[in-house]
Chain A
């Protein structure tokens, strides 16, 4: 999200999939029947099967074993408090899987512009021109957070671009594990870009596990190396503004993104572009334009659609109940809204 819009960048993708939400479900099911046209149907089916197996495992394993099943009926192996979560989980993951399958079957998918990501190439080019490095900060979280994994995936894409430009990529990290993953990712990106020689292992280095020691060191790097572009992508805490303000003071292009809501306002205020929450997870799909990734993004949209529909129905029923005070409405809404307890 960009606070201060500049020139519009033309969309480079067809909008063939921009249909009203209402027909979405119908078209999705219709799409299944057109699967036979798919060239890569086999790959698609294998993904679906894996997905089905994953959830079959969740469902069946405790019951498949007769001993398990008996124990389950006696003392409750399945946590019944989480039935709704299971059902909704199946619906959401089912929707995501469905679109992944459709996408890999060759269905064209539209993705809206995500401000900031179109600038990546420009920022890298500018750094090369100025002969300055690019700073990538993967956040404070360790590999046990999904947003750090998302950040590593983005680092991979970025490294591929940078490898083509011949500028230096500097990645100071707070967690040793993240360093390991980052090195693996960047090395492979340089390799696949045909520039294994440009990979410098020591440019991806561990600093300190302490939040503010890390912030102090990265601040030092910013003022001394004066990177042309700073990327802050991952899970950030209070240091977000310390880094972004220091980066701003040296005039670097700054692109940030985090799924830690408390830090979003500071990035929005101090950076040129900010990926807000879910946009961080979508960025990988956006940059790779890989059909299966775009498909899963569409599945996420279906999830938002489900959320919106339930919010509307739930509020409508609650309103009706509050106005009429009717017992019947309450019972109906309890049945309709069972999924959300």
Chain B
């Protein structure tokens, strides 16, 4: 019972949505088109579980004086303050009816002043990591690694005016070997071939996995056994 009903729900909703894709109107189609909406709503309910987990973990760290517990205080204070500001639209010029991110609101300040610089800087760490990763991984150890490395080098050079300058001496008849042209050719053809093979494979993986889920063959997500 506890296990069968979820499987029946999965089956019905899966079939209804697939039907909704092929049927242009009626309840099936409505469900297909509204699924993203429904999902977003359920996600908000799930926030209660997520927020609860966050609070519990950090409160526990503080109360047990675990390593680095003062930082958990930072998280707790930041979380609660921002939550109150956001849910009650504190400082929002339009009051409770105002747009959530109206300029001048406190939440807007949290976004522009704290969230944004932190997010952008974390993101920018990638500039350093692509360099360290390529330094380490791009070694001609095996044939495969050599191919990877060569393709990367051609693109790296071809994507800058330096590539054009390096191969500008080539005769007109060999223009296709100039680095920017070679780089574009690799992107447009072999790269496309690889991407396509991966995409077709993924599509089949998604189709088969979805089918296994709908038919109840894959049911780990409900917990295994009984």
Q: Which residues of A contact B (CB under 8 A)?
A: 3-5, 47, 50-51, 54, 57-58, 61-62, 68, 76-79, 82, 85-86, 89, 92-93, 96-97, 100, 142, 144, 146-147, 149-150, 152-153, 156-157, 160, 175-177, 179-181, 184-185, 187-189, 191-192, 202, 205-213, 215-216, 224, 238, 241-242, 244-245, 248, 259, 261, 264, 266, 268-270, 276-278, 280-282, 284, 292-293, 296-297, 299-300, 303-304, 307
Are A5 and B50 in contact, with the CB atoms below 8 A? no
Stretch at the interface among B95-103, B171-179, B210-218: B210-218
Are B217 and A278 in contact, with the CB atoms below 8 A? no
Q: 4 closest A-B pairs (Cβ-Cβ)?
A: A176-B50, A281-B205, A188-B223, A278-B201
Taking the complex as formed, is B18 at the interface, i.e. its CB lies under 8 A from any CB of chain A? yes
Q: Which of chain A's residues have a CB closer than 8 A to the CB of B133?
A: 241, 244-245, 248, 266, 269-270
Q: Would A176 and B223 be within 8 Å (CB), given that A47-B215, A269-B133, A296-B208 are in contact?
A: no
Compute how far the CA of A92 lies from the CA of B206 in the bound complex, rounded to whole angstroms.
12
Are B218 and A293 in contact, with the CB atoms below 8 A? yes
Q: Would A245 and B18 be within 8 Å (CB), given that A180-B46, A184-B222, A189-B224 are in contact?
A: no
Q: Which residues of B contact A (CB under 8 A)?
A: 11, 14-15, 18-19, 21-26, 28, 35-36, 39, 42-43, 46-51, 53-54, 56-57, 60, 68, 115, 118-119, 122-123, 125-126, 129-130, 132-134, 136-138, 141-142, 144-145, 148, 195, 198-202, 204-218, 220-225
Compute how far the CA of A160 lies from the CA of B136 in the bound complex, rounded to whole angstroms.
34
Smallest Cβ distance from A202 to chain B, in angstroms? 6
Compute how far the CA of A35 lies from the CA of B70 in the bound complex, rounded to whole angstroms.
66
Q: Is chain A's interface secondary structure helix, strand, loop, or mixed overall?
A: helix
Are A205 and B46 in contact, with the CB atoms below 8 A? no
Are B202 and A277 in contact, with the CB atoms below 8 A? yes
* Choice from B14, B56, B208, B221 contacting A152 with Cβ under 8 Å: B221
Compute how far the CA of A296 lies from the CA of B218 in the bound complex, rounded to whole angstroms.
11
* Choice from A4, A152, A189 contacting B142 with Cβ under 8 Å: A4
Smallest Cβ distance from B226 to chain A, in angstroms? 9
Q: Would A206 and B50 be within 8 Å (CB), given that A50-B11, A92-B204, A152-B221 are in contact?
A: yes
Smallest Cβ distance from B142 to chain A, in angstroms? 6
Q: Which of chain A's residues have a CB closer than 8 A to the CB of B202?
A: 259, 261, 277-278, 281
Q: Which of chain A's residues have a CB closer than 8 A to the CB of B46?
A: 175-177, 180
Compute how far the CA of A270 lies from the CA of B135 in the bound complex, rounded to whole angstroms.
11
Q: Which of chain A's residues have a CB closer than 8 A to the CB of B210?
A: 146
* Choice from B21, B53, B211 contacting A296 with Cβ under 8 Å: B211
* Choice from A50, A181, A191, A192 contacting B221 with Cβ under 8 Å: A181
Are A216 and B223 in contact, with the CB atoms below 8 A? no
Q: Which of chain A's residues have a CB closer than 8 A to the CB of B15?
A: 54, 57-58
Smallest Cβ distance from B55 to chain A, in angstroms? 10
Compute how far the CA of A206 lies from the CA of B48 in the bound complex, rounded to whole angstroms.
11
Q: Is chain B's interface secondary structure helix, strand, loop, or mixed overall?
A: helix
Q: Would A303 and B204 be within 8 Å (CB), given that A156-B220, A188-B224 are in contact?
A: yes
Closest chain B residue to A216, Cβ basis: B122
Are B201 and A304 in contact, with the CB atoms below 8 A? yes
* Choice from A146, A261, A282 contacting B198 with Cβ under 8 Å: A261
Compute how far the CA of A79 lies from the CA of B21 in the bound complex, rounded to whole angstroms.
8
**16 A/B residue pairs, CB under 8 Å, sorted by A:** A3-B144, A5-B142, A54-B14, A62-B28, A79-B21, A79-B22, A97-B211, A146-B205, A146-B213, A156-B221, A175-B50, A176-B43, A189-B223, A261-B198, A281-B206, A284-B220
Smallest Cβ distance from A34 to chain B, in angstroms? 22
Q: Which of chain A's residues have a CB closer than 8 A to the CB of B138?
A: 269
Q: Would A185 and B221 be within 8 Å (CB), given that A202-B57, A307-B200 are in contact?
A: yes
Are A264 and B122 in contact, with the CB atoms below 8 A? no
Are A284 and B204 in contact, with the CB atoms below 8 A? no
Q: Would A58 and B118 be within 8 Å (CB), given that A175-B50, A179-B53, A303-B204 are in contact?
A: no
Q: Which of chain A's residues have a CB closer than 8 A to the CB of B53?
A: 176, 179, 202, 205-206
Are A304 and B215 in contact, with the CB atoms below 8 A? no
Given contacts A206-B50, A215-B122, 20 further A-B contacts (CB under 8 A): A4-B141, A4-B142, A50-B216, A62-B23, A68-B26, A142-B39, A160-B224, A180-B49, A206-B51, A206-B53, A213-B119, A238-B123, A242-B126, A245-B132, A266-B130, A269-B134, A270-B133, A280-B205, A293-B212, A300-B208
Q: Which of chain A's residues have a CB closer than 8 A to the CB of B208?
A: 96, 281, 296-297, 299-300, 303
